[in-house]
Chains A and B, each alone.
Chain A
Amino acid sequence: MNKLDVRDLVVRYGQLRAVDGVSFGIPPGGTLGLVGESGSGKSTIARAIVQLARVDRGQISLDGKDITFARGAHLNEIRSKIQMIFQDPYSSLNPRLSIGAMIDEVLQRHRNMNGAQRREEVDRLLEMVALDPLFADRYPHQFSGGQRQRIAIARTLASQPELVILDEVVSALDVSVQAEVLNLLRNLQIEFRLSYLFISHDLTVVRYMSDSVCVMYLGQIVEWKETEELFRQPEHPYTQGLIDAVPKMIVGGDPNRIPLSGEIPDPHFPPPACRFHTRCPFGPLTHPERNLCREDDPHLLVDKSEHYAACHFPLVKKELA
């Protein structure tokens, strides 16, 4: 049974369907990556799972139990099991609390411990993220970006979560520090059998962290695959376009790259049928006979309970070569 299941999730902001019929699952101890350009709906999914965004339709379940509209004691229990870490730890850490007090706050709320036990636990948690327990009396501004992200991780672990949502957690960090935080997250995952929902716009980082990856475009998942397979043999032209856009450490750039033209359309007015057809380098823009892309929504034709690509003309072989 999956740790988390999301079925046909729809989240609206007014007329805007920020998330439009999204389904995926995360097995216990596994990591699902979510990638896509800004405005694709990645963060809204995360917010819906922790009830920071109102779910319009669909179902979210933890360990097979529906938590979509959980309230009261049940919600409190879920909040200890599902934790979220954001891009900028500085704005999510209270500047007026020492980091020890901050972690202690979580322990008081979610763990049944006395003062001495809590002090010991604070030390243990700081050590776990490779910070000196002597730092417990210091305040967030006394730490660097990477250290703050470690503090956010320690505070998260304090509630003994089972699922952690990581929303662009390394995007603001320098590469050398980024590598350390990613390594730490992977070690903690193994140690505590954590499940991760890993959200990032950076494909190389998502590839490194995830067992399977969902690629999002305008509120929908256009492709969901096991990680190696997705990067080796993407089927959706949008996935291919995203992969091509990443600098490859090739001098002068990748000569086989097929650039995506244009920008993500206004999500208030998504294109009909296949939402990607207005930018697709293999769709009606270049193949006028592929009218289907303008007429039928490929999402209606796929079974979303398993890996899929929502495309009428998937890239079976590398059409680029």
Chain B
Amino acid sequence: MSLPQPLLQVRGLTVRFDLESGTIVPVNDINVDLAEGEIVGLVGESGSGKSLTALAIAQLVPHPGFLTAQHLRLRGEDITTMPAEALRYFLGSEMAMIFQDPMSSLNPALKIGTQLTEATRVHRRVSGKELRKMALERMADVHISAAETRLRQYPHEFSGGMRQRAMIAMGLMNSPSLIIADEPTTALDVTIQAQIIDVLREINREQGTTIMLISHDIGVIIEICSRVLVMYAGRIVEDVKISELMTADNHPYTEALIAAVPAFDSNRDEPLPSIPGRPPDLDNLPPGYAFAPRCKYVFERCHHETPPLLRIDETHRIACFLRTEPPEGATRE
């Protein structure tokens, strides 16, 4: 039986910045497939390369960044070799991006309705009437009430939560197959965050849209995603099904990341488990594995070599020698 072709196939995705002080590689050899209809989380601390990975997938690497990849296929089409004009049309209809701060992605001088329909006007031949109908439907998808009035308003007349809903509605206009959402709820209150998560979940369920959700908050990812990619210092260190998270032997970094979040049932008399040290500077990476200096299970080999991301079962990849090639006598206890 042949597996269905993945919606997104990323091979060897690398982003390099040649700076005066030297070359840094904030995204380093990313290999991943996203199946149709999946919600995949991408988690990591600041500087881990998660946002840049998303930008790279959308071919939006900022200057002077340099993207290389074996291939980057969306619906089977390699977008790294597509001519610019074709790429614009292809991504414009197949992919949507949602960012943390909707106010800076919305034009303050244009009505919401104008902005919502802009991409569709560019990418498709649709009548004004049809366009308005589509906009109203998308506003309904994200549960914005009084949509007729709302479309005639400007971004400053919207609350933070409403702006993020409008951004999602805008992303949905061309019925994309992939939505990349970069910290879409980080600037919002928890109650509004919960509402936005519900909207994303609903879109995935009802329209089958594949979602890549980038967040520093592993709690949010566990709520909504079916799978998570954990990034550290530019690399994916673990790729695991959410249902196996916390039950399987996870990457020591993933384990520490989960433990550091205070939970409602954590013991208040105990100190919170923290991860010693801090994420490395990309222009000053430690020799060997970048996570080694902070890992509590570290052993000699980690200080010299970076473990490759290896598949240990059908739904689990991990970059950790302890799991893939354990040395004699090593344990996780």
**A residues within 8 Å of B by Cβ?**
37-38, 144, 146, 174-180, 182-183, 186, 201-205, 207-208, 227, 231, 241-253, 257, 259-261, 263-264
Contact = CB atoms under 8 A, between A and B. Distances in A.
Contacts of A241: 191
Contact of B222 (A186, A207, A251): A251
Contacts of B272: 179, 182-183, 208
A204 B190 contact: no
5 contacts: A177-B274, A179-B262, A179-B273, A204-B263, A248-B263
A174 B45 contact: yes
A284 B260 CA distance: 40
Contacts of B67: none
Interface in B244-270: 245-246, 256-258, 260-264, 266, 268
A183 B272 CA distance: 7
A242 B162 CA distance: 19
B134 interface: no
B263 A249 contact: yes
B266 A175 contact: no
Given A174-B45, A179-B274, A183-B272, 12 more contacts: A175-B218, A176-B274, A179-B273, A179-B275, A204-B263, A207-B262, A242-B191, A247-B219, A249-B258, A252-B223, A253-B224, A257-B194
Contacts of A179: 260, 262, 272-275
B186 to A, nearest CB: 10
Contacts of A180: 274
A183 B274 contact: yes
Contacts of B46: 174
Nearest to A178: B260
A202 B219 CA distance: 12
Given A249-B263, A252-B223, A260-B191, A175 B216 contact: yes
A126 B217 CA distance: 30
B264 A246 contact: yes
A57 B220 CA distance: 41
A151 to B, nearest CB: 15
A262 to B, nearest CB: 9
B20 to A, nearest CB: 18
CB-CB nearest 8 A-B residue pairs: A247-B219, A176-B275, A179-B274, A179-B272, A174-B45, A245-B194, A37-B189, A245-B190
Contact of A176 (B195, B257, B268): B257
A38 B189 CA distance: 7
Q: Which one of A176, A178, A249 has the highest number of Cβ atoms from chain B below 10 Å of its Cβ?
A: A176
A105 to B, nearest CB: 27
A207 B268 contact: yes
Contacts of A202: 190
A251 B258 CA distance: 13
B197 interface: yes
A253 B195 CA distance: 12
A209 B272 CA distance: 11
B33 interface: no
Interface in B11-57: 45-46
Nearest to B224: A253
Given A180-B274, A203-B190, A253-B197, A246 B219 contact: yes
Contacts of B263: 204, 248-249
Nearest to A266: B159
A283 to B, nearest CB: 16
Given A208-B266, A250-B223, A174 B216 contact: yes
Q: Which one of A177, A227, A251 has the highest number of Cβ atoms from chain B below 10 Å of its Cβ?
A: A251
A93 to B, nearest CB: 18
Nearest to B220: A247
A53 B45 CA distance: 35
B274 A250 contact: no
A201 B190 contact: yes
Interface in B206-226: 216-220, 222-224
Interface string B177-198: 0000000000001111111011
B161 interface: yes
B4 interface: no
B260 A249 contact: no
Contacts of A261: 195
Contacts of B275: 176, 179
A259 B278 contact: no
A177 B278 contact: yes
Nearest to A279: B191
B183 to A, nearest CB: 13
B260 A201 contact: no
A144 B243 CA distance: 34
A140 B260 CA distance: 26
A207 B223 contact: no
A231 B262 CA distance: 14
B194 to A, nearest CB: 4
B271 interface: yes
A201 B189 contact: yes
B262 A251 contact: no
Nearest to B244: A251
Given A203-B190, A245-B193, A176 B260 contact: yes
Given A174-B45, A208-B266, A260-B191, A249 B198 contact: no
Contacts of A259: 191, 194-195, 198
Contact of A205 (B161, B189, B262): B262
Contacts of A177: 274, 278
A174 B201 CA distance: 26
Contact of B268 (A201, A208, A248, A251): A208
Contacts of A174: 45-46, 216, 279
Contacts of B201: 253
Contacts of A186: 271
A253 B45 contact: no
B38 to A, nearest CB: 14
